[in-house]
A and B are shown apart, each in its own frame.
Chain A
Amino acid sequence: MKINLHFLKICCIAVLLAPVVSSAAQPETPTDQGITLTINVVKKPLENVLATLGQQAGLDVHYDRNEFDSKKLVSISCKNLPVEQVLAELTDQTGLHFSLIKNKLIVTGSNNASNTIQTIHGVVKDTTGMPLIGVSVGIKGTTKGTLTDINGNFTLDAASGDVLMFTYIGYTTKEIVVGSETTLNVVLKANSSSLNEVVVTALGLKKTSASLSYDQQTVSGKELEVAKDPSFVNSLDGKVSGLQITSSSSGAGGSTKVVLRGNKSIYGSSNVLYVVDGVPLNALTSTQPTGVFSYGADGGDGISNINPDDIESISVLKGASASALYGSQAANGVIMITTKKGKAGKTTVTFNSNTTFDKAVLLPKLQSEYGRGDADTSNVSSLNSYGAKQAAGSPNLNPASYFNTGVSTINSFTLSTGTEKNQTYISYANTHADGIEPGNIFSRNNITFRNTSKALNDKMTIDLSANYIFQNTDNRPISGTYFNPLTSIYLFPRGTDFNQYKNYEYIDPVRDVYVPNWIIPYTGGGSADDLQNPYWIQNKNPTTQGLNRLLASISAKYDFNSWLNLQARVKLDKADQTSSQELYAGTAELFASQSGGYNYTSSGQNQVYGDLLLNANKDLSHDFSFNGTIGAIIQDNQSSSLGFGGHLGNVDNYFNVSNLDLSAGNPFKQTNKTENQTQSLLGSFDFGYKKYLYLDITGRNDWASPLAFTPNDFFFYPSVGLSDVLSSMFKMPDFISYSKVRVSYTEVGNSIPAFVSTPAQYTVTNASLNLNLTQPLATLKPEITHSFEAGMEWRFINDHITFDATYYHTNTYNQLFNVATSAASGGYKTQYINGGNVKNEGFEGSLGYNGIIGDGLRWTSNVTFSLNRNKVLALYTDNSSGVPNVITEFTFPNTVNSYQLEAVVGKPFGEIYANDFQKDASGKIILTNGLPQLINNPNNYVDVGNSNPNFLLGWTNSFRYKQFDLAFTIDGRFGGEVVDMTQAYLDLYGVSQASATARDNGGVLINGTHIDAQAYYNLAGGREGALAEYAYSATNIRLREASLGYTIPGSAFNNKIQNIRIAFTGRNLFFFYLKAPYDPETTLSTDNSLQGIDLFGQPSTRSLGFNISARF
């Protein structure tokens, strides 16, 4: 408490003699305000004169009585003289030095005194006594500064009278005037409970957290670094309530399906909107796998390109109220990313190197008991493993031997530098991942430049930023049976030597061209389409996906005065993507001619965003405050593509458009440039009363080009919310440090896709006209979500314990979906309709603790929980024929033979329906001729469950003790079902352990009789079998990530560098509970289709690694 006393000592006189004018902030010095003084004294003590002066000018006068003689007599006579001139006069008489910093007048011994540099040592701690690491300590008005070390210590040379500023994220900034003391003990107060805490909300608008009428959860960039993933969104798992993350089984850089508070849109997207620094990010959604015969892989998404090291913090706007200002894009919530800027003060350079080793886990359990063949031994070329018992020592392929240990490295460098007026941030990151599947290489380079500067007397702030991303993916893992090495690896006949096929090709002497060496002999007509040699696929069917992306933005803000500013932003997001697949001669003839095949697509997407916002923030009176914004936005998206895909003509393995075989149909495909534009006007108004009661009203009107041809091309989206800080309104017991309740109601939209309301147009195939198979409807509206939420926040015992909870209820109406119409309805196969009502209702919250245990062990712990109940209340009723036709079920596109995902009235969204054996009323399988019979009619498939969980739980922990830190996240997903078609295939081919066990037992026991294993699995297995028999609970609990770090303080390096941290990290470490044979949190597709099914997707990985970061 030494520092406080010292400070008091300095201030006491000023306080005594010059009562502080006002506690309200005085941002400007008296000079700026043009304050003048009138003083008439003759030979009065200096301290009296200073007191008078302070009183008149509204200045706090600071000096140290020990430094000079404050009783020295001075004379001065002035009338309406500016402050500076009075001070100059005093300097002449006393030789003292006066400096004005805002409303402080600092008096020091002499002019020379400010050059008396002394070395200040100090330690910075929080209110609980924990040292704070990395606190920025700077001398106000200069670029001099330093950071505290691991023990909270700092050393800085400063002159007496300098003002030291201590700033630290999450803490209230503190200023201390340097006096004669050279040792400082500084205590910073966490500002989390501060009623004036400012948070960034939709569109980048800043508001006090007390005024928010909805739930918004913030995650710092640091929390994402616990165990890095090349796609940072995956790191949010378990850390935010209400958030469900499912990553695509396509390796590094793949897409992620992120859903907040349940799926809302049946046909449209339920994925969140990403917003970077207030501006929506182009989603760059890639084509997703469509089923068994998918040719392509997931191509990643727009968010996966972002360099995680550039992220300062992430705010999750969970509900529609929080995201209402995004209007027709807001229905699914927003993940808002704030990126790093340069900071004034010392130049900081960081280097971060992260390396992880990935190992495939949850591989299928294969048998090594029975060999190749069938029960019927006449078939010698069978690829099944239903043969005789293996001879001793027979080779059996272990699928794990095919996978490599994946290695991903992320090396990043950042530089931050700047002065008060100009700050610059530069970063470069290189990500390189060798996937677990041979040949899969992902690489990405991110270059970021950002400059923030002030102009026009500091009234104008200009923020320039540019990101350039180039990314390349070779042989991205794919799902389905075509071009997938895993089908051949998993299904390879047991007891057969796989090594003989590692040399995957040989020269065909007649053709003089390499052809595949494989268990299915190459006969000139190609080999099997779904079981090619895996190494042939890797080397002779290579794929490459490239991305070049530039994001550039300029933002200018002009402060008219202290409460009114105007901001304009323009952002360009330009992404060019290419994908190619080369199919060498010898590839299965379904895909290529004898000479080979070549598929290539080049596409471009541009997004231009511009907005203009006028912000006002003013206290209307002592009790009433106002914060308002009005603005206009234009967003324009363009895309086009040109590609071809076909068989090669005469020249083997010459992959060029000039060598395409044009006789096999038109290989070209072009999407002409299409454009889609939204123009908006918006307003957001917050009214505050006594800083505890807030009313928040927003409205946005969107004019959207996809709505052209409909009666309304514009829609209005309002929101209203109320929040009340109870702890400020009422006197509460001391252990309650903060308490707030909030309630809000919102209507937001989900815009319709382009062209669905456009009058009929024709398509051209094989150079002949076809009617577009989808009937346009000129009465379409955007989907609209009515959302209600109520919540509360509590903090106890000096904020050591925090608790928040939210209840929400949403109904999504005007669901846009594409339903099948009768083939005889007039040429259209489908029709867009608006209808339906999907309800989501849920409860989410978090409970946190942070504090010190024992001898300085800091523990932060947070439990998040989310419960969502979803129900499809209605789909559509058609009355056009006079006889009402009620649609009660909708099947998502991209079904896989025995699997369908459906929305059915009265059931939750995303029910899995699957083929099954015919059963009697009691559920017993009906046997006909001694065999079960399949249902086979998709209309009669059985409901095996829902792909969405009932309940999510996440638990994050971090510990810090001296130089050590430890963090881990455990998360659990409870409820929901998945089906595993991979397992069905393994059984069909007799390679699974299950099939061997059945044989050992004399067959599969059905109704008390043993049915021959192969006969049974011939029916049950494969893509058309009884998939319902392969349904598993998706419940799982896992150790999601963990890290153990050690920080070497700068002192170990003679303070040449600030510190170095070394950490061991792990992701997806192990499962506490798992029933499904694959990781149910991976998905084949990140769109609405193909949820809850695995079909030879890349297995999940366990990652272990280390991270070194150094700060200079």
Chain B
Amino acid sequence: MKKTYKKNWLLLACILGLFAISSCTKDFQGLNTDPSKVTQGQAAGDQESTGGFFPDMEENIFNITDYNYQVQQNLNADVFSGYMMSPDDGFGNNNTNYFMRSDWNNEMFDLGNQHIMNNWVQIRKNAGSAQHFVAMALILKVEGMHRVTDQYGPMPYSKYGSNAFFVPYDSQKDIYTRFFTELDTAVNTLTAFVKTYPGQTPFKRFDMIYGGDYKQWLKFANTLRLRLAMRIVYVDPATAQAQAEKAVADPNGLLSVVTDDAYLNMVNGLNYQNPLWNITNAYGDISMSAAMKSIIEGYNDPREAAYFLPSAYDNKFEGIRQGQNITSAVYAGFSLLNVQATTPLEIMAASESYFLRAEGALRGWNMGGGTAQSFYEQGVALSFQEKGATMPAGYLTNSTATAAPYVDPTNGANNVPAGNPYLNNITIAWNSGDTFEHNLQRIITQKWIAIYPDGEEAWCDFRRTGYPKLFPVVVNNSGGLISTTSFVKRIPFAADEDLTNPKGVATGVAALGGPDNGGTRLWWDVNPLVP
């Protein structure tokens, strides 16, 4: 068919003698290939078609672009975790006062799927024999996607990419089971590679976190396994203990020293501005929260100056009470974040592993020969190191300091006075005689300070354990969907999915086991002591 037409065309072109330059339609495929994009062929060299997708995964665990980061986690988890609060009144009713904005709630879902899942699929498809690299990417996939499921609960995972307009959701239980299996695969593959090819880092130039050092990725994978295990401790204690002990027992070890800290380093041609720097400075959209000021000042903790700047309001640190009807002009002068454009994003702090082991030990698990107290104290000390602060003498033995009452210098109605049950009433010094819950509160409170500014992980701990105690919202605009005293439990499914994957969302709601709003608990969120 096509040929006949072409012949006619050729014949005519020749007869008419006009188009001496015309080479007819055989060039059309060439013309219609966008020279501004990279073809599969171009990407084939130097592992680009596999390794090339890895940086983008790394750049989306925490998205490196300010406005993406802002709705991916800053205006939700970073606020829900009690770390920060926005002084900007330009958002109207929004997540910070429990009006869960559907346009914001898309972000974590979109970034996770389009950048983590998709790149992983490309890597797996193109990797060929480089299964060790697939394994490294697999660890990063679990790291990226557990942050997604812990915001929403059910999500498409096993059926990812099956159809354009209908992708079913998996239950969070199934997703976590898969996470552990995937970590098994990754650890086994990398362990074997490291054994066979010690010291080799074939994908070094694509890895901004560990420079392709698989030994570091093994430590990361074990720590991640430990984190995930602890997450499900209330819903499936047996699996939790088994996975936690497996993580600790793995000979590759855990993240344990400052140099193990996972940062998205500005190397290998990657340049970015720390998104929090723009969000706090240029946008003026995020500041220190009231709960943060209460806890960190109650402990007289020098990490405060590492995290925040003295306020323009009174040159002291000032935090903003969460969930109030904000007036920008009033709160714009409160403490901004102490972050530089060149500060790399932290993916995971090594100190977290000690707090996880402390909690495991507290629960009586085999955490590799250490006590809850020893892990706890190592974790605190390492955190000071990580943040470049000096631990004051007597910090770890301070058995009196607890969270300070909160005073809003501009509006007394926001105050949280002494004796208020929402003040975090736990001291620093380890006390073996304290109740399990007190010591757990102690561990989680220090962990909360240590893993700042990862509000996502801190919010998970708060939902799981109820610690540290945070201040409830002053204004609750959820329309009764979220309890002020029980705090927000999750983020509603991405609104875009209602349009693009409505049948998939229906499977998600079924798997959630409750209404699709911010008040429904996730699968692992079953601690009876948490309201």
Tell whether A1002 is near chain B: CB-to-CB under 8 Å.
no
Tell whether A673 is near chain B: CB-to-CB under 8 Å.
yes
Complexed CA–CA distance, A379 and B327 (Å): 9
Q: Which residues of A contact B502 (CB under 8 A)?
A: 885
Task: Among B40, B103, B117, B500, point to the contact of A821 (Cβ < 8 A).
Answer: B500
Look across to chain B and name the residue whose beta carbon is closest to the beta carbon of A608.
B21
Look across to chain A and name the residue whose beta carbon is closest to the beta carbon of B159.
A824
Complexed CA–CA distance, A626 and B320 (Å): 85
Query: Size of chain A's interface in residues, with CB distance under 8 A?
Result: 93
Known: A672-B35, A826-B160. A934 touches B93 (CB 8 A): yes
Look across to chain A and name the residue whose beta carbon is closest to the beta carbon of B123.
A769
State how many angstroms separate the Cβ of B297 from the closest Cβ of chain A.
23
Q: Which residues of B contact A679 (CB under 8 A)?
A: 9, 19, 22, 24-25
Q: Is the CB–CB distance between A769 and B56 below 8 Å?
A: yes
Q: Which residues of A contact B103 (CB under 8 A)?
A: 938
Q: Is the CB–CB distance between A936 and B19 below 8 Å?
A: no
Task: Among B13, B49, B117, B165, point to the contact of A885 (Cβ < 8 A).
Answer: B165
Known: A529-B282, A664-B271, A1018-B89. A708 touches B118 (CB 8 A): no
Known: A708-B32, A769-B43. A612 touches B18 (CB 8 A): yes
Tell whether A95 is near chain B: CB-to-CB under 8 Å.
no
Task: Among B49, B92, B109, point to the contact of A823 (Cβ < 8 A).
Answer: B109
Tell whether A24 is near chain B: CB-to-CB under 8 Å.
no
Complexed CA–CA distance, A761 and B41 (Å): 10
State how many angstroms separate the Cβ of A816 from the closest Cβ of chain B.
15
Q: Is the CB–CB distance between B48 and A568 below 8 Å?
A: no
Complexed CA–CA distance, A666 and B269 (Å): 9
Tell whether A634 is near chain B: CB-to-CB under 8 Å.
yes
State how many angstroms separate the Cβ of A699 from the closest Cβ of chain B.
14
Q: Which residues of A contact B28 (CB under 8 A)?
A: 677, 703-705, 707-708, 713
Q: Is the CB–CB distance between B18 and A610 below 8 Å?
A: yes
Q: Which residues of B contact A758 (CB under 8 A)?
A: 32-34
Q: Which residues of B contact A821 (CB under 8 A)?
A: 164-165, 500
Q: Is the CB–CB distance between A824 and B501 below 8 Å?
A: yes
Known: A708-B29, A885-B166, A939-B499. A674 touches B34 (CB 8 A): yes
Q: Is the CB–CB distance between B38 and A762 below 8 Å?
A: yes
Q: Is the CB–CB distance between A768 and B341 below 8 Å?
A: no
Q: Is the CB–CB distance between A939 and B102 below 8 Å?
A: yes
Interface mask (A249-269 → B, CB under 8 Å = 1, otherwise 0): 000000000000000000000
Query: Size of chain B's interface in residues, with CB distance under 8 A?
Result: 98
Task: Among B24, B38, B281, point to the contact of A769 (Cβ < 8 A).
Answer: B38
Look across to chain A and name the residue whose beta carbon is closest to the beta carbon of B269.
A767
Number of residue pairs A-B, CB distance < 8 angstroms: 278
Q: Which residues of A contact B91 (CB under 8 A)?
A: 1024
Tell whether A856 is near chain B: CB-to-CB under 8 Å.
no
Complexed CA–CA distance, A761 and B109 (Å): 24
Complexed CA–CA distance, A1042 and B456 (Å): 65
Look across to chain A and name the residue whose beta carbon is closest to the beta carbon of B56.
A768
Tell whether A662 is near chain B: CB-to-CB under 8 Å.
yes
Q: Is the CB–CB distance between A714 and B55 below 8 Å?
A: no
Complexed CA–CA distance, A754 and B32 (Å): 6
Tell whether B146 is near chain A: CB-to-CB under 8 Å.
no
Chain-A contact segment, one of B175-183, B187-195, B371-379, B490-498? B490-498
Tell whether A773 is near chain B: CB-to-CB under 8 Å.
yes
Q: Is the CB–CB distance between B165 and A880 below 8 Å?
A: yes
Known: A824-B117, A934-B93. A878 touches B165 (CB 8 A): yes
Tell whether A681 is near chain B: CB-to-CB under 8 Å.
yes
Tell whether A12 is near chain B: CB-to-CB under 8 Å.
no
Task: Among A379, A382, A704, A764, point to the contact of B38 (Cβ < 8 A).
Answer: A764
Tell whether A766 is near chain B: CB-to-CB under 8 Å.
yes
Q: Is the CB–CB distance between B35 and A673 below 8 Å?
A: yes
Interface residues of A in 794-830 (CB under 8 A from B): 819-829
Look across to chain B and name the residue whose beta carbon is closest to the beta carbon of A885.
B165
Complexed CA–CA distance, A714 and B19 (Å): 18
Complexed CA–CA distance, A529 and B332 (Å): 14
Complexed CA–CA distance, A383 and B284 (Å): 15
Look across to chain B and name the residue whose beta carbon is closest to the beta carbon of A672.
B35
Q: Is the CB–CB distance between A634 and B22 below 8 Å?
A: yes
Interface residues of A in 667-691 (CB under 8 A from B): 670-677, 679, 681
Interface mask (B316-344 → A, CB under 8 Å = 1, otherwise 0): 00000000000101101000000001100
Q: Looking at A525, A676, A755, A819, which has the most chain B CB atoms within 10 Å of its CB?
A: A755
Look across to chain B and name the residue whose beta carbon is closest to the beta carbon of A665.
B271
Q: Is the CB–CB distance between A672 and B167 below 8 Å?
A: no
Look across to chain B and name the residue whose beta carbon is closest to the beta carbon of A765.
B56
Look across to chain A and name the residue whose beta carbon is closest to the beta carbon of B67.
A293
Task: Among A379, A662, A761, point to the contact of B329 (Cβ < 8 A).
Answer: A379
Tell whether B435 is near chain A: CB-to-CB under 8 Å.
no
Tell whether A1094 is near chain B: CB-to-CB under 8 Å.
no
Tell whether A4 is near chain B: CB-to-CB under 8 Å.
no
Tell whether A376 is near chain B: CB-to-CB under 8 Å.
yes
Complexed CA–CA distance, A379 and B271 (Å): 39
Interface mask (A740-768 → B, CB under 8 Å = 1, otherwise 0): 00000000000000110110111111111
Complexed CA–CA distance, A160 and B354 (Å): 118
Q: Which residues of A contact B283 (CB under 8 A)?
A: 529, 590
Q: Is the CB–CB distance between A880 and B163 below 8 Å?
A: yes
Complexed CA–CA distance, A820 and B501 (Å): 10
Q: Is the CB–CB distance between A827 and B118 below 8 Å?
A: yes
Interface mask (A171-214 → B, CB under 8 Å = 1, otherwise 0): 00000000000000000000000000000000000000000000
Look across to chain B and name the residue whose beta carbon is closest to the beta carbon of A568.
B18
State how many angstroms separate the Cβ of A766 from the closest Cβ of chain B.
6
Complexed CA–CA distance, A946 and B115 (Å): 37
Known: A768-B59, A939-B102, A1024-B92. A681 touches B12 (CB 8 A): yes
Tell whether A398 is near chain B: CB-to-CB under 8 Å.
no
Task: Among A610, A701, A824, A829, point to the contact of B19 (Cβ < 8 A).
Answer: A610
State how many angstroms separate the Cβ of B176 from the closest Cβ of chain A.
18
Known: A826-B118, A831-B164. A632 touches B37 (CB 8 A): no
Tell whether B156 is near chain A: CB-to-CB under 8 Å.
yes
Look across to chain B and name the residue whose beta carbon is closest to the beta carbon of A1018.
B89
Task: Among B32, B270, B497, point to the contact of A766 (Cβ < 8 A).
Answer: B270
State how many angstroms separate the Cβ of A646 from the closest Cβ of chain B.
11
Tell whether B273 is near chain A: CB-to-CB under 8 Å.
yes
Known: A378-B330, A821-B500, A937-B495. A768 touches B54 (CB 8 A): yes
Task: Among B36, B119, B164, B499, point to the contact of A672 (Cβ < 8 A).
Answer: B36
Complexed CA–CA distance, A672 and B34 (Å): 8
Look across to chain B and name the residue whose beta carbon is closest to the beta carbon of A612.
B18
Interface mask (A634-671 → B, CB under 8 Å = 1, otherwise 0): 10000000000000000000000000001111100011
Complexed CA–CA distance, A827 and B160 (Å): 9
Complexed CA–CA distance, A760 and B125 (Å): 14
Tell whether B410 is near chain A: CB-to-CB under 8 Å.
yes
Interface residues of B in 45-73 (CB under 8 A from A): 48-49, 52-56, 59, 64
Tell whether B287 is near chain A: CB-to-CB under 8 Å.
no
Tell whether A22 is near chain B: CB-to-CB under 8 Å.
no
Interface mask (A506-531 → B, CB under 8 Å = 1, otherwise 0): 00000000000000000001100100
Known pairs A705-B32, A769-B48. 12 more at Cβ < 8 A?
A: A382-B327, A681-B9, A708-B28, A709-B32, A754-B32, A761-B39, A763-B37, A821-B165, A822-B496, A822-B497, A823-B113, A824-B167
Q: List 25 A-B contacts (CB under 8 A).
A: A529-B283, A612-B18, A674-B35, A679-B22, A681-B9, A703-B28, A705-B32, A713-B28, A714-B25, A762-B38, A763-B38, A767-B269, A768-B53, A822-B113, A823-B109, A823-B494, A824-B159, A824-B501, A826-B161, A826-B164, A880-B163, A883-B503, A936-B99, A939-B102, A1025-B92
Q: Which residues of B contact A (CB under 8 A)?
A: 2, 5, 9, 12-13, 16, 18-19, 22, 24-25, 27-29, 31-40, 43, 48-49, 52-56, 59, 64, 89-93, 99, 101-103, 106, 109-110, 112-115, 117-119, 121-122, 155-156, 159-167, 206, 266, 269-273, 278, 281-283, 327, 329-330, 332, 341-342, 410-411, 477, 479, 494-504
CB-based closest 9 A-B pairs = A827-B118, A826-B161, A769-B52, A768-B55, A824-B156, A822-B501, A761-B37, A672-B35, A708-B28
